[in-house]
A and B are shown apart, each in its own frame.
Chain A
């Protein structure tokens, strides 16, 4: 995964996470605020209800007081206090009182508890209504809730009782009341989304029709059954939610407030319902907005982070590219420097580094070249001095032999010319060897079986392996067969292998095992030539392929240089691993195919075969 992708992902994730957190936070806060508001509104509504209740109670009390204070009532009280009074005279008085004083329920009860007149249930006149006798004096008793029996059912009434003495210690009880029904609810000011319901608990069980709202009957009233039944069991305030449908927006939360009668019986339930719609819709809107914000932020973030990452990673990628190019040997690689930030400084530092590297490389190459030339000069001088010194001696001997006899002279002469000849041949050989190295031919690629080439090389040395008087060398061949053919010059390859085997034999003066191995690795052919010699030091390893370097007392030091040259001409690589006392292993990797034209001008490359670049490549 690229840095850019990572950066992009991180930025987007961060945006997404933060938007989600904000959305969650807002939603949570909103919900809390809503619930808070809901509770407040419910509380206000309940307070309003209580106030209305008290106010209506006071109104009823006032009207009952007015009835009590009227002359008609006083006269009635006095009449009814007399013995043998005709109570039928007053049967319809309650009707008049109810109409005059705008009350739904008015009843007059005499001192015996007998109903004298009833506005709401006239048919009960003459029957007992003696619950009023429980209080001798009802003065200042507040309004209370009561089940009011009517001809066609039971109603919930806000009731006030007052007494009026008619003399003879005979009281007239005046009961006044108003119906507590949906009209009562109509007086409540309801905030949007809220509604107030009244359940009149007049039966033992739940009765759907007893539940009313401002408009009368409530739809799906039976859904309230569990709510009502719960409060019937235990009359205390509670909060319940009804989900009207699968849609959460249809849910409604109900606060239930029990309304109790004088004897602490549950007579009604006020239900304050608040719709969850606003909350749910707001939450949905928040989530929707959050989604939109997140999408937009992600998009912008994507653009921005793309741009940013482009700004940041481009130089880094340039750096990486540059580094790769440096690695591939282009020391003069430069990258563009944008700005002066860290990336800019890094690019600048990179450029400085490559510059320094190039400079140092140049110096090193020059130094090495000088050293090489010195070595060459020294070796050439050494090589040349070896035959020159005997020749000098021979010539001096010859000059001295002039004084000798002829025979002796002749003898000496023959001896000397023979020596000179030999030494000249020696010189010639030395010169031709140097000449050969300089004249490495350009490879001519044909399909070559590497195994075959190796076997040919080893076969050359077979006589030496078991040469009498010399320590035995055991050749071991681990050749992968079949092995793909490669594009190679068979002569050059043969020379390289020959040099390597020779090198190995030289490394094992006391005998040992020569191991040859071929295998295919990563599309390349790997050839390993290992000896069990004394091994090389680190220093020796690093200088191994330098031309004219040798660890041996004899030899031109050109063997491994030739190997390296051949390998390089085949666009392969050569490396060496060695452990002191255990032996050395050369490893060559050759590509199976040579790119056409790559060796079009092998002559031109000859110079460079010995160049440090080749060394660098070979020692990679």
Chain B
């Protein structure tokens, strides 16, 4: 069936806040996922990776590299306009990407193109640029951002510019939309960018509700009050039982334990080993999380690294108890339970933390689960500093790049793990990457637990839902299968003034 145009896609998201400034996005945080999904509506990347593993041109139409992958040249697409109608030039790309690129990579403009180079080879530069924060945007004088993407933000949001009338009117310097605690969920409205280079999206608008509770999202989907919702893992089975359309991404978030090097108990290597051996990831994923998660033995998921399956973390309670018993007397006789702080927000990490505690108790390691404070400002990776100190932290790490090397670098840098080589571009060579991750895992400063995919619930009339398996949504391709009469009627009176598919004569037509 050929796509139909028109309609408003109603999206509900759990995140209470969203940032439209890629420079502010926290790589690895679960908030990143929402930021990136909504950012993709407004901004575009130089290129994308399609579902068949092929890099597709976006703002860049061609690219080439030297023999050592040290210098890449990208040719920019011609005729690309920002949502305010101004043309995209190489300087824009330069300005946008420069603050985002790792420190070892230099970017420069060269005519109608840009050059990215580095002293080390960058064979994975395309993966890097096709994911993560690498969107092209332009900072406007008032501090707000705009992009050339298929949509622009309308209404109450800090404007990202655009041809629309009201886009700039309410904007202020804030680039983060937040739902205040106990306030009604914030609504964001994205309108189709008529002039986007990739062709006007089929949808007229996308309405995003932030801070929607999971169960409410499910109900809204069932009652057709929403077309696309984030499904929390515990509701997936239920949604499926109720014949709702559920889409599952590949492993998107890693839940793991991190030992705080500052805590004396966490520094005890044998204790960490005993702790690790006590963990029963298989049951955690298959029973406790009802197969909505996968046991994780590696830091990077199989879909990203390709070698994750080589790691194997077996439960060995007997060995764990032996190690525990053989601990130096000081650590062994300590009556103080090991404090495990759940840094990641939500019920699921808490449940995981509790399960870890139950597991560890089998190896005679007393663990006290401490929940993080309720301050909404903290992201999923670090709880507020006011929270009690803990020897072990349960974190959630969201995979944000298609480059395994970059992902591992970000991870290692963020957690300050050994094996980080600073700003240097580490080797892309899979064998070296494997060896590096193996070393990290053997240190046991970080213990992977499970990986969790993203789940999306879809309304019955959502068509051409063709997201990337790793979580990019591509809403510009989506259209709504609604009867002609219904789709002709704008869903929102505000939308009435927006012309739908204005036909016009082409100036370049030959007689």
Chain A residues at the B interface, C-beta cutoff of 8 Å: 87-89, 91-92, 121-127, 151-152
Closest-CB distance, A207 to chain B (whole angstroms):
16
**Chain A residue with the shortest CB-CB distance to B291:** A88
Contacts of B280 in A (CB 8 A): 126
B433 contacts A by Cβ under 8 Å: no
Query: How many residues on chain B are close to A (CB under 8 Å)?
Result: 18
B220 → A minimal CB distance (Å): 20
Minimum C-beta distance from A80 to chain B (A): 13
A91 with B287: CB separation less than 8 A:
yes
Contact A123–B288 (Cβ < 8 Å) = yes
Nearest chain-A residue to B359 (Cβ)? Answer: A123
A to B CB contacts below 8 Å, 24 in the list = A88-B286, A88-B290, A88-B291, A89-B290, A91-B287, A91-B288, A92-B234, A92-B237, A92-B290, A122-B288, A123-B351, A123-B352, A123-B353, A123-B354, A123-B355, A123-B358, A124-B358, A125-B287, A126-B283, A126-B288, A151-B350, A151-B354, A151-B369, A152-B369
Which residue of B is nearest A87, CB measured?
B287
- Smallest CB gap from B286: residue in A: A88
Whether, in the assembled complex, B381 has its beta carbon less than 8 Å from a beta carbon of chain A, the answer is no
- Given A126-B283, A152-B369, residue A91 in contact with residue B290 (CB < 8 A): yes
Alpha-carbon distance between A137 and B266 when the two chains are bound, in angstroms: 47
Q: In the complex, which residue of chain A has the Cβ closest to the Cβ of B285?
A: A88
Q: Are B283 and A123 in contact (CB under 8 A)?
A: no
B129 contacts A by Cβ under 8 Å? no
B323-361 contact mask (Cβ, 8 Å, vs A): 1 or 0: 000000000000000000000000000111111011000
A89 / chain B contacts, CB cutoff of 8 Å: 290
For B234, B237, B358, the residue with the greatest tally of chain A CB atoms inside 10 Å of its CB is B358
In the bound complex, how far is the Cα of B353 from the Cα of A89, in angstroms?
A: 21
Beyond A88-B291, A151-B354, 17 extra complex contacts between A and B, CB < 8 Å: A87-B287, A88-B286, A88-B290, A91-B287, A91-B288, A121-B354, A122-B288, A123-B288, A123-B351, A123-B352, A123-B353, A123-B354, A123-B355, A125-B287, A126-B280, A126-B283, A126-B288
Q: How far is the CB of B231 from chain A (nearest CB, A)?
A: 14
Is A127's CB under 8 angstroms from B290's CB? no
When distances are taken between beta carbons in the complex, the residues of chain B under 8 Å from A88 are 286-288, 290-291
Question: Which A residues touch B355, using CB under 8 A?
Answer: 123
* Total of A-B residue pairs, C-beta within 8 Å: 38
| Complex: A507 Cα to B311 Cα, angstroms | 159
Q: Is the CB of A122 within 8 A of B290?
A: no
Counting chain B CB atoms within 10 Å of each CB, the highest count among A88, A123, A126, A152 belongs to A123
Measured CA separation A123–B356 after assembly (Å): 8
Nearest-CB residue, chain B, relative to A152: B369
CB neighbours (8 Å) of A127 from chain B are: 358
Beta-carbon contacts of B347-389 to A below 8 Å, as 1s and 0s?
0001111110110000000000100000000000000000000
Asked if A125 contacts B288 (CB within 8 A), the reply is yes
Q: How far is the CB of A139 from chain B (nearest CB, A)?
A: 29
In the complex, what distance in Å separates the CA atom of A91 from the CA atom of B357? 18
- Which B residues are CB-close (under 8 A) to A87? 287
Given A92-B234, A151-B357 in contact, is the A122-B286 Cβ separation under 8 Å? no
Q: Report the Cα distance A564→B351, complex, angstroms.
A: 133
A126 to B288, CA, bound (A): 8
Q: Which chain B residues border A91 with CB–CB below 8 Å?
A: 287-288, 290
Instruction: State A92–B290 Cα separation when bound (angstroms).
Output: 9
Could you tell me if B357 and A126 are in contact, using CB atoms closer than 8 angstroms?
no
Q: Which of B286, B290, B291, B357 lies in contact with A123, CB distance below 8 A?
A: B357
* Interchain nearest-CB distance for A467 vs B (Å): 134
B234 to chain A: closest residue by CB: A92
State how many angstroms separate the Cβ of B255 from the closest Cβ of chain A.
13
Kindly report which residue of chain B lies nearest to residue A89, judged by CB atoms.
B290
Bound Cα distance A50, B374 (Å): 40
Is A122 within 8 A of B287, CB to CB? no
Chain B minimum-CB-distance residue to A151: B354
Chain B residues contacting A92 (CB-CB under 8 Å) are 234, 237, 290
Considering the complex, give the chain B residue whose CB is closest to the CB of A124. Answer: B358
CA distance A89 to B354 in the complex (A): 20
A123 to B354, CA, bound (A): 6
| Complex alpha-carbon distance, A152 and B370, angstroms | 8
Alpha-carbon distance between A125 and B359 when the two chains are bound, in angstroms:
11
A150 (CB) vs chain B CBs: closest residue: B354
Looking at B288, B353, B357, B369, the one whose CB has the most chain A CB atoms below 10 A away is B288
| Measured CA separation A155–B288 after assembly (Å) | 22
Closest chain A residue, CB of each to CB of B238:
A92
Closest chain B CB from A236 CB (angstroms): 32
Q: Which 8 A-B pairs have the closest CB atoms?
A: A123-B354, A123-B355, A151-B354, A88-B287, A88-B290, A123-B358, A126-B283, A91-B290
Which residue from chain B places its CB closest to the CB of A122 in the assembled complex? B351
Q: Which residues of A contact B354 (CB under 8 A)?
A: 121-123, 151
Q: Which residues of A contact B234 (CB under 8 A)?
A: 92
A5 → B minimal CB distance (Å): 81
Q: Which of B287, B291, B354 has the most CB of A within 10 A?
A: B287
Looking at the assembled complex, report how far the CB atom of B462 sits from the nearest CB atom of chain A, in whole angstroms.
27
Closest CB in chain B relative to A36 CB, distance in Å: 50
Give A122 to B284 CA distance when docked, in angstroms.
Answer: 11
Residue of B nearest to A92 (CB): B234
List residues of B (221-246) whose CB comes within 8 Å of A's CBs: 234, 237
Assembled-state Cα–Cα distance A60/B477 (Å): 53
The distance in angstroms between the C-alpha atoms of A122 and B353, with both chains bound, is 11
Docked pose: A262 CA to B453 CA in angstroms:
45
A121 to chain B: which residues have CB within 8 Å? 354
Taking CB atoms, residues of chain A closer than 8 Å to B283 are 126
Residue of A nearest to B235 (CB): A92
Q: How far is the CA of A89 from the CA of B352 in the complex (A)?
A: 18
A122–B290 alpha-carbon span in the complex (Å): 11
**Residues on the A chain within 8 Å of B288, using CB:** 88, 91, 122-123, 125-126
Interfacial chain A residues near B287, Cβ < 8 Å: 87-88, 91, 125-126
Q: How far, in whole Å, are A88 and B369 apart by their CA atoms in the complex?
A: 24
Instruction: List, in ascending order, chain B residues with CB within 8 A of A123's CB.
Output: 288, 351-355, 357-358
Report the minimum CB–CB distance from B260 to chain A (whole Å): 21
What A residues does B369 contact at CB under 8 A? 151-152
B236 to chain A, nearest CB (A): 11
In whole angstroms, what is the CA distance A121 to B361 when docked?
A: 15
0 or 1 for each of B272-305: is its CB under 8 Å from A? (1 = yes):
0000000010010011101100000000000000
Across the interface, name the chain A residue whose C-beta is closest to B368: A152
A561 to B294, CA, bound (A): 153
> Which residues of B (72-125) have their CB < 8 Å from a CB of A?
none
Task: Identify which of residues 429-474 in chain B touch chain A, using a CB-to-CB cut-off of 8 Å.
Answer: none
CA distance A358 to B353 in the complex (A): 125
B286 to A: closest C-beta gap in Å: 5
**B358: chain A residues within 8 A (beta carbon):** 123-124, 127
Chain B residues within 8 Å of A122, by CB: 288, 351, 354
Tell me, in angstroms, the Cα distance from A152 to B47 when the chains sit together: 49
Using CB atoms, name the residue of chain A closest to B283. Answer: A126
Complex alpha-carbon distance, A123 and B353, angstroms: 8
Closest A residue, CB atoms, query B362: A127
> Which residues from A are CB-within-8-Å of B352?
123
Within 8 Å CB of B286, what residues of A?
88
B287's closest neighbor in chain A, by CB? A88
Closest to B370 in A: A152
Q: How far is the CA of A122 from the CA of B354 in the complex (A)?
A: 8
Contacting residues, chain B, for A152 (C-beta < 8 A): 369
Q: Which residues of A contact B353 (CB under 8 A)?
A: 123
CB distance from B28 to the nearest CB of A (A): 25
Give CA–CA (A124, B286) in the complex, Å: 14
Assembled-state Cα–Cα distance A87/B351 (Å):
18
Annotate B455-497 by CB proximity to A: 1 below 8 A, 0 otherwise.
Answer: 0000000000000000000000000000000000000000000
Across-interface contacts of B351 in A (CB, < 8 A): 122-123
Q: In the assembly, what is the distance between CA of A152 and CA of B368, in Å?
A: 8
Residue of B nearest to A123 (CB): B354
Q: How far is the CA of A152 from the CA of B280 in the complex (A)?
A: 21
Shortest Cβ distance from residue A128 to the other chain B in the assembled complex, whole angstroms: 11
Shortest distance in angstroms between A558's beta carbon and chain B's nearest beta carbon? 130
Task: State how many angstroms separate the Cβ of B156 from the closest Cβ of chain A.
Answer: 36
